[in-house]
């Protein structure tokens, strides 16, 4: 089998031989060797998000999980520099000691894939660039990577960026690495921007809203000057007979007093400021006549952890996809789709998480078409058993494909790093 055939053949495998480099130099040596002998290699950290992207089977696997540890954390400089496969949990614990956080809210995909915690590594988060509920306010992962070191497809160690926020020295390769699914470099070191964690958090829950009014209210809340940091909607109805949504079971909290759909608005800051802003919001949104609950810091944190980790979507064999759209198109899109699905809305209507039942490839493509038409994109996050192999997990047009192919070649001329993980030929 030729190298090209191997790269494009989904089930090809030379052996199950996995390498565990101990440091950056070793990563570089391995990749140099693979480059010389034209050996495609799969890069993995903890493997918690390995199922996202196109199925991949390479001759070799480079397990980078030993490249871990915090290199430097300077709270007053607002950055933490870590070896690439440092567990996210370890980073978050360290930051907590100084009341700081990764403001993009890393998602724990373990619940979705295995029904339990499995946070994965810093490099995994960066490679996927899928951010949590605070994204619309705080930016996504790509906005929080200040610099990196890594090994390109020729085995050369390269770096970009630095430890400071304001930096325009050379191309911003950190952005390019975020969301590249290990197809450009094997990451060895990442510097994250960190931010103070808010002292308190509170969540205003509006009960029993229909999608139109929920999206309208969330939009109004984001467009206000109340600096909200979460804007989600969980519907109570479902567009599939025989399936139930059990909101009460997912969000079992003392102060959630009413049944039905949930429209949630998060406010973070000091206690006085939160109270002031909740009062403002209730006035500005004119919601004095609807049922509301207010969650305190403790419950609010539990609530948003569940939102962030997609616990609303109980592990199943169904397909899960992520739809990012202009927020004003959200309601219209949900009404347009006739497929059987369950969904939640985040980022005030700019993000839809969707679980589809009994989906065919044609139906999937038809949803994608509708999403692209309104200026959005759709990513298959989890493939169902009904769709064992969807060719295009990601959305791309031919222009961008050509550019992306050239970019890929500039990092990895022989296409040996995670070949085909994102697109055939990249």
- Footprint (CB under 8 A) of another protein, residues 336-375: 347, 350-351, 375
Residue 80 within binding range of another protein, rule CB under 8 A? no
Antiparallel, parallel or unpaired: β 319-324 and 292-295: unpaired
Tokens of 121: 């590594």
Query: x/- binding map, residues 29-68, to another protein, per CB under 8 A?
Result: ----------------------------------------
Distances from the Cα of 255 to the Cα of 73, 234, 271, 345, angstroms: 38, 17, 18, 22
Nearer to another protein, 251 or 411 (CB): 411
Least distance between another protein and beta carbon 374 (Å) = 9
CA distance 215 to 209: 9
Spacing of C-alpha 419 from chain mean position: 21
Of 21, 327, 419, 420, the one binding another protein (CB under 8 A) is 327
Three-class SS state of 77: helix
Least distance between another protein and beta carbon 176 (Å) = 5
Distances from the Cα of 419 to the Cα of 8, 54, 181, 304, 415, angstroms: 8, 10, 10, 35, 6
Least distance between another protein and beta carbon 16 (Å) = 30
Residue 403 within binding range of another protein, rule CB under 8 A? yes
Q: Report CA Rg, the chain.
A: 22
Nearer to another protein, 14 or 93 (CB): 93
Nearer to another protein, 10 or 196 (CB): 196
- Pick from 153, 139, 155, 146: nearest CA to 122: 146
Give the residues across from 252 on adjacent strands: none
Nearer to another protein, 167 or 208 (CB): 167
Of 94, 200, 276, 311, the one binding another protein (CB under 8 A) is 276
Nearer to another protein, 40 or 269 (CB): 269
- Footprint (CB under 8 A) of another protein, residues 90-149: 99-100, 129, 131, 135-136, 139-140, 142-143
Least distance between another protein and beta carbon 69 (Å) = 19
Burial 282-298 (b: 16+ CB within 10 A, else e): beebebeebebbbbbbe
Distances from the Cα of 79 to the Cα of 121, 189, 284, angstroms: 17, 13, 37
Nearer to another protein, 37 or 402 (CB): 402
Residue 407 within binding range of another protein, rule CB under 8 A? yes
- Footprint (CB under 8 A) of another protein, residues 160-179: 160, 162-176, 178-179
Three-class SS state of 261: coil
- Pick from 292, 286, 285: nearest CA to 220: 285
Region of 356 on the Ramachandran plot (φ > 0 left; ψ -120 to 50 alpha; else beta) = beta
Nearer to another protein, 116 or 166 (CB): 166
Of 197, 240, 282, 290, the one binding another protein (CB under 8 A) is 197
CA distance 66 to 228: 39
Mark the segment that binds another protein (CB under 8 A) among 12-20, 31-39, 204-212, 393-401. Answer: 393-401
Longest CA–CA span in the chain (Å) reads 70
* Residues touching another protein, count (CB under 8 A): 85
Least distance between another protein and beta carbon 347 (Å) = 7
Nearer to another protein, 27 or 325 (CB): 325
Sign of the dihedral defined by the CA atoms of residues 250, 253, 256, 258, in that order: positive
Q: What's the chain's length in residues?
A: 426
Nearer to another protein, 6 or 134 (CB): 134
- Footprint (CB under 8 A) of another protein, residues 249-268: none
């Amino acid at each position: 089998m030729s190298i090209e055939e191997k790269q494009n053949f989904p089930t090809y495998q030379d052996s199950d031989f996995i390498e565990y480099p101990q440091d950056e130099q070793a990563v570089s040596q391995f990749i140099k060797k693979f480059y010389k002998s034209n050996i495609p290699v799969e890069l993995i950290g903890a493997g918690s998000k390995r199922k996202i992207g196109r199925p991949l089977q390479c001759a070799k696997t480079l397990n980078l999980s030993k490249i871990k540890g915090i290199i430097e954390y300077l709270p007053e400089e607002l950055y933490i520099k870590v070896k690439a496969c440092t567990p996210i949990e370890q980073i978050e614990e360290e930051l907590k000691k100084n009341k700081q956080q990764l403001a993009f809210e890393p998602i724990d995909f373990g619940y979705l894939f295995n029904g339990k915690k499995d946070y994965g590594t810093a490099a995994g988060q960066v490679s996927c660039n899928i951010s949590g509920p605070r994204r619309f306010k705080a930016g996504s992962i790509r906005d929080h990577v200040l610099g990196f070191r890594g090994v390109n497809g020729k085995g050369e160690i390269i770096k970009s960026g630095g430890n400071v926020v304001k930096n325009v020295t050379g191309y911003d390769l950190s952005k390019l690495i975020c969301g590249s699914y290990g197809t450009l470099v094997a990451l060895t070191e990442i510097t994250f921007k960190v931010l103070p964690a808010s002292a308190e958090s509170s969540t205003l829950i509006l009960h029993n809203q229909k999608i139109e009014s929920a999206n309208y209210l969330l939009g109004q809340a984001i467009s206000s000057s109340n600096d909200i940091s979460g804007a989600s909607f969980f519907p109570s109805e479902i567009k599939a007979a025989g399936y139930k949504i059990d909101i009460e079971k997912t969000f079992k909290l003392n102060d959630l007093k009413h049944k039905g759909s949930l429209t949630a608005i998060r406010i973070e800051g000091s206690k006085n400021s939160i109270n002031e802003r909740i009062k403002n919001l209730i006035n500005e949104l004119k919601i004095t006549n609807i049922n509301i609950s207010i969650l305190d810091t403790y419950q609010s944190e539990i609530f948003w952890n569940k939102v962030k980790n997609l616990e609303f979507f109980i592990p199943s064999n169904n397909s899960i996809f992520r739809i990012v759209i202009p927020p004003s198109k959200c309601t219209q899109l949900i009404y347009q789709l006739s497929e059987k699905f369950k969904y939640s809305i985040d980022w005030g209507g700019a993000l839809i998480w969707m679980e589809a039942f009994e989906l065919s490839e044609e139906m999937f493509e038809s949803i994608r078409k509708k999403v692209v038409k309104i200026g959005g994109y759709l990513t298959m996050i989890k493939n169902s058993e009904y769709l064992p192999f969807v060719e295009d997990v990601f959305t791309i047009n031919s222009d961008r494909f050509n550019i992306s192919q050239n970019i890929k070649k500039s990092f990895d001329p022989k296409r040996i790093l995670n070949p085909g993980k994102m697109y055939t030929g990249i």
